[in-house]
Amino acid sequence: MKKYLILITIALLNITYGIAQEKKLRIYLNYNKNYNYINYRTGKIKINKGTPNEYEISNIYSLGLEKKAFNLSLNIRYFINEKLGLNFGFSNVSKEFTINYDEWYIYSDPVTGEHSPPQRGMKMIYYNFPVLASYTVMNKKKLKVTHSLGVTTNVYYSNVDGYRLVSNQSLGIWEKENIDYNNKYAKKVFLNATFMVDVDILFFKWGGINLGGVADFGLTNCLKEPKISRLITLQIKAGIFIQ
């Protein structure tokens, strides 16, 4: 992914050279540290007991999410005038979920007869596409501060792995069994309201250093089973910009 972002950056530099000469375009390559949270509310879940038309009703009693994640991002900001601009971007990020069901619920596989406790785990990869409106709040000779507001779309790409815990009754332990969930429990597309702050420090004629922060607030559910499953991501970023 790092190689792809570098190649895309080089290609964009060649394509947008004419615009860049007017100082209306800035291209950003950032390294990001993400802090993830999830706001969820469970509801009654209908789960097949292993025979046709026979179900049990369960709840999700806890939902885990990988707290920290790191990724690279590529963003383009076009300045319409001295104050207003448009920001477009691309990045990829993984989301690792753990779903724990009510403790009394144990699932029996209708084919193998194996039992699993109330836990599922999955690691999903998403592509992120922010579309933001920008407003410059400070513009000095070497320093520019910009606020941006808009929507980021998370688009499902693949699942790295999934698992459930299987009961080994002879040993009296739970064992991890890898499963390809094929996005059974997660949404393929979900939306976030995005607020971003950028501080650009110009060191050279061609560019400089970018520092900033991003806050994403889930507008739509990211998982299928809970009634509510909204992601909240706070991001610290650092990188370079080219103009």
Instruction: Decide: helix, strand or coil at residue 235.
Output: strand
Q: Which pLDDT tens digit goes with each residue over 189-240?
A: 999 999 999 999 999 888 999 999 999 999 999 998 888 999 999 999 999 9
- What's the confidence (pLDDT) of residue 222? 93
Composition of the chain by helix, strand, coil, percent to 5? 10, 65, 25
State the pLDDT at residue 37: 94
Helix (H, G, I), strand (E, B) or coil at 202: strand
Position 188 confidence tier, pLDDT thresholds 50, 70, 90? very high
- Which among 1, 31, 15, 4 has a CA at the least distance from the CA of 209? 31
The label of the residue with tokens 């250093």 reads: 209
Asked whether the predicted pLDDT for residue 91 surpasses 70, the reply is yes
Q: How many other CB atoms are found less than 10 A from the CB of residue 232? A: 15
Beta-carbon-side half-sphere exposure of residue 29 (alpha carbons within 13 Å): 17
- What pLDDT does residue 153 have? 97
Q: Among candidates 38, 34, 35, which has minimal Cα distance to 230?
A: 38
d(CA 55, CA 23): 63
- pLDDT tens string 138-171: 998 899 999 999 999 999 998 887 887 766 666 6
